């Protein structure tokens, strides 16, 4: 054995042999990562379409329960959505353009008035002098150049948004066939679990959108009350605009505060400062208390997870990542629960749930023997709907034993 070892102090030769399968796996991983990066807009469009589908499915289902045919129900829901979007744009854009024109027309007088007010305090004298010599023309030219540079990007975003809407419409119209195709490529032993995952995804998306609508309505109502109280014109249009841009994390704060503060400063400097302070305070309240509470209830996520998900999504993919961070985090947590994964810090007894899952899968295989994937998908969804509440009761420690 000693003869086989190299002498002490001499270099040891280490030979690494790569098999053809290892090389192919590495190449496949590199190509897959490259394709994901190149096709990221496609995945984002698909995610936006699925979020839209999950949002509108509840309304379509209610109309179907009242006797509407599915095609007419989908047409009514999409028409109402487009009309609502047109109403919001028609109500807000003209008023905001008028406000911007008034601001540009009275910019010099407003700037000098604010500078005179700031010059009263020694701490802000330098700021007042800078404001008196500030030139709007250079800022306007820079803004025009930026707008021209990003106009192509804006057209791309609009095109992706339109594509997501039409894709969502196609998915909803052709739901049964698409679901049948999905179930055809998945082993039947996983059909019940797949149907549960799809149903839970609809609940997650619906809860996320309902939470977002609630926060938008809250800030719109607060803005409207604030502007009416200080006597600002076009309060309703500005409030609707603030509620609409509130869906954008981080950037929405600036887009919401700017028109409110500008409209108030056109009235007086004091009212402008009051409006600015009130909006900043409300956004702190929304970010620290309201959003974690609402999304924690709707998505069943802890407040710390919500904040981390928003920061991670915004850091990785900007505004789009922040918008998708919460439903993605909730979906990942749901998948862990549906796969009955025991996390290191948890101590949940899944034995009874797994036994129930096995009995349900056996019942499903018995019922779908000899049927097509399309019919099997419908049966799997029916079984999952029946088992959804019962499975939640089994995992709830407060559920009475007789209910279990």
> Is residue 195 scored above 60 in pLDDT?
yes
Highest mean pLDDT, choosing among 87-101, 161-175, 305-319, 370-384: 161-175
**For residue 188, what is the DSSP state?**
G
Q: Residues 110-140: pLDDT tens digits?
A: 667 677 777 777 777 677 777 666 665 555 5
Cβ-based neighbours of 364, under 8 Å, separated by 6 or more: 188, 191, 192, 379, 380, 383
pLDDT class of 76 with cuts at 50, 70, 90: very high
- Cβ-count burial 138-177 (b if 16+ within 10 Å, e if not): eeeeeeeeeeeeeeeeeeeeeebeebbbebbbebbeebee
Structural tokens at position 282: 């409300």
Classify residue 381 by its DSSP letter.
H
Residue 397 has pLDDT above 60, yes or no: no
- CA dist., res. 393 & res. 403, Å (int): 8
- Mean pLDDT of all residues in 175-203: 83
Cα 161–chain centre separation = 14
Q: How far apart are CA 395 and CA 397, in angstroms?
A: 6
DSSP conformation class of 275: H
Backbone angles phi, psi at 199, to 5 degrees: -65, -40
What is the structure's pLDDT at 14?
A: 63
Q: Which two tokens stand for residue 50?
A: 């699925």
> In the chain, what is the straight-line distance between the N-terminal and C-terminal CA atoms, in Å?
66
What is the model's pLDDT at position 136? 57
Could you tell me which of 219, 242, 211 has the C-alpha nearest to residue 306?
211
Would the CA dihedral through 373, 375, 378, 380 be positive or negative? negative
Query: DSSP E strands: which ranges in 138-195?
Result: none
Rounded mean pLDDT of the chain? Answer: 76
Give pTM, 2 decimals.
0.66
Residue indicated by tokens 């095609």 = 71
pLDDT given for residue 374 in this prediction:
77
């Amino acid at each position: 054995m000693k003869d086989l070892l190299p002498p002490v102090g001499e270099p040891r030769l280490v030979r690494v042999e790569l098999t053809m399968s290892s090389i192919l796996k590495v190449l496949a991983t590199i190509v897959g990562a490259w394709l994901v990066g190149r096709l990221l807009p496609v995945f984002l469009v698909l995610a936006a379409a699925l979020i839209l589908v999950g949002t509108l499915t509840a309304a379509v289902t209610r109309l179907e329960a009242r006797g509407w045919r599915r095609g007419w129900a989908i047409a009514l829901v999409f028409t109402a959505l487009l009309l609502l979007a047109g109403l919001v744009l028609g109500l807000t854009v003209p008023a905001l353009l008028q406000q911007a024109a008034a601001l540009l027309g009275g910019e010099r007088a407003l700037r000098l008035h604010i500078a005179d007010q700031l010059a009263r305090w020694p701490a802000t004298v330098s700021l007042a002098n800078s404001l008196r010599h500030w030139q709007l023309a250079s800022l306007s030219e820079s803004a025009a150049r930026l707008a021209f540079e990003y106009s192509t990007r804006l057209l791309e975003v609009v095109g992706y948004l339109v594509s997501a809407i039409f894709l969502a419409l196609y998915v909803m119209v052709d739901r049964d066939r698409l679901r049948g195709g999905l179930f055809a490529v998945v082993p039947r032993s996983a059909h019940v679990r797949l149907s549960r995952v799809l149903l839970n995804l609809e609940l997650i998306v619906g809860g996320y959108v309902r939470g977002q609508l609630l926060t938008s309505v809250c800030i719109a109502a607060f803005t409207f009350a604030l502007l009416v109280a200080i006597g600002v014109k076009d309060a309703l249009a500005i409030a609707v605009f603030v509620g609409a841009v509130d869906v954008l994390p981080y950037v929405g704060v600036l887009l919401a505060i700017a028109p409110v503060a500008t409209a108030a400063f056109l009235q007086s400097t004091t009212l402008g400062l009051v409006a600015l302070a009130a909006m900043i305070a409300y956004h702190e309240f929304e970010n620290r208390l309201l959003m974690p509470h609402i999304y924690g209830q709707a998505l069943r996520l802890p407040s710390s997870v919500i904040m981390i998900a928003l920061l991670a999504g915004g850091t990785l993919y900007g505004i789009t990542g922040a918008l998708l961070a919460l439903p993605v985090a909730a979906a990942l947590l749901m998948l862990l629960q549906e796969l009955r994964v025991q996390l290191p810090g948890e101590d949940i007894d899944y034995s009874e749930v797994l036994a129930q899952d096995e009995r349900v899968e056996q019942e499903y295989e018995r019922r779908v023997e000899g049927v097509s994937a399309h019919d099997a998908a419908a049966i799997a969804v029916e079984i999952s709907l029946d088992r959804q509440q019962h499975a939640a009761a089994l995992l709830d420690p407060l559920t009475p034993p007789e209910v279990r």
